[in-house]
Amino acid sequence: MTVPPSARPEHPLRRFASPVLLLAAMWAVQFADAVLPGSFSGLGIRSWDPAGLLGIVFAPLLHASWAHLIANSVPFLVLGCLVAVEGTRRFWAVTVTVAVVGGLGTWLVNAPGTLTVGASGLVFGYFGYVVMRVFAPGRVSHRILYAVIAVVVVGLYGGTMLAGVFGVADGVSWQGHLFGGIGGGAAALAGRRPDQRRAVGR
Within a domain: 202: no
Domain ranges, residue 17: 5-189
Number of domains, the chain: 1
Segment 31-68, tens digit of pLDDT: 999 999 988 989 999 999 999 999 999 999 999 999 99
Q: Kindly state the helix (H) or strand (E) to which residue 125 belongs, with its residue range.
A: helix 120-132
**Residues 78 and 151: beta-carbon distance below 8 Å:** no
Rounded to whole angstroms, the Cα distance separating 13 from 27 reads 21
**pLDDT confidence of residue 6:** 54
pLDDT at 19 > cutoff 50: yes
Q: Which residue has the higher pLDDT, 73 or 150?
A: 73
Within a domain: 10: yes
**Residues 195 and 5: beta-carbon distance below 8 Å:** no
Within a domain: 131: yes
pLDDT at 142 > cutoff 60: yes
Within a domain: 56: yes
**pLDDT confidence of residue 35:** 95
Within a domain: 201: no
Longest dimension (CA), the chain: 62
Rounded to whole angstroms, the Cα distance separating 143 from 146 reads 5
CATH of the domain at 129: 1.20.1540.10
**pLDDT confidence of residue 162:** 74
Segment 73-125, tens digit of pLDDT: 999 999 999 999 999 999 999 999 999 999 999 999 999 999 999 999 999 99
Q: Which residues of 71-102 are buried (b: 16+ CB within 10 A; e: fewer)?
A: bbbebbbbbbbbbbebbbebbbbbbebbbebb
Within a domain: 198: no
Within a domain: 147: yes
**Residues 26 and 63: beta-carbon distance below 8 Å:** yes
Backbone Cα Rg of the chain: 18
Q: Kindly state the helix (H) or strand (E) to which residue 45 belongs, with its residue range.
A: strand 45-46
Within a domain: 63: yes
The residues near 2 (Cβ < 8 Å, ≥ 6 apart) are: 199, 200, 202
Share of the chain above pLDDT 70, in %: 88
